[in-house]
Amino acid sequence: MFGGDVVPREDLARAGPDLRRLALQVDEDLYVVSGVPGPGDWFNHSCEPNAALRGQLTLVARRAIRRGEEVCYDYAMSDGSSYDEFTCGCGSALCRGRVTGDDWRLPELWARYGGQFSPYLQRRIDALVEGRARAREELGRVAHGRPAAADAEPMPLGVAP
Ligand SMILES: [Zn+2]
């Protein structure tokens, strides 16, 4: 479980890169920074992690973890801003190559991690999915309500962004 001081984005921006690397985003514009830096903060990222978030602060195992194996999680589960972006060298076949604050937007991660995102990111994902469903519904209504005309443009039905 992570712990520390909750700091707003402006304060984190003023902190040095070493402290930023140890921060954990827990909500829109809020970060937890440990007041006692040490091994408790050293959870690396992996694109194929053996641990996941439960809530904002708790890491839980996604599978059995062998003795001596490094515990890591996917930072896409917690990070929704650009405070800690880097080139990834996790070595997994699933490696994204670059880890960014926008990775939570990747639908393949929603499928892989369902429910293992920080609650504030899950709210963002739910809003995105709901918005897409509404847009598809609207597109269907427009297509079906349109009078048939020889010169009508075909509607791009079934095209999901
Ligand atoms: Zn990777």
**Mean pLDDT across 10-32:** 88
Tell me how far the alpha carbon of residue 83 lies from the centroid of ligand 1, in angstroms. Answer: 18
Tell me how far the alpha carbon of residue 135 lies from the centroid of ligand 1, in angstroms. Answer: 32
Domain locations in the chain as residue ranges: 5-145
pLDDT 10s digits, 73-87 = 999 999 999 988 999
> Model-level pTM?
0.81
Tell me how far the alpha carbon of residue 52 lies from the centroid of ligand 1, in angstroms. Answer: 15
Residue 38 to residues 23, 24, 80, 130, 131: CA-CA distances in angstroms?
A: 12, 14, 24, 40, 41
Tell me how far the alpha carbon of residue 123 lies from the centroid of ligand 1, in angstroms. Answer: 25
Q: Which two tokens stand for residue 41?
A: 């903060």
CATH architecture of 5-145: Beta Complex (2.170)
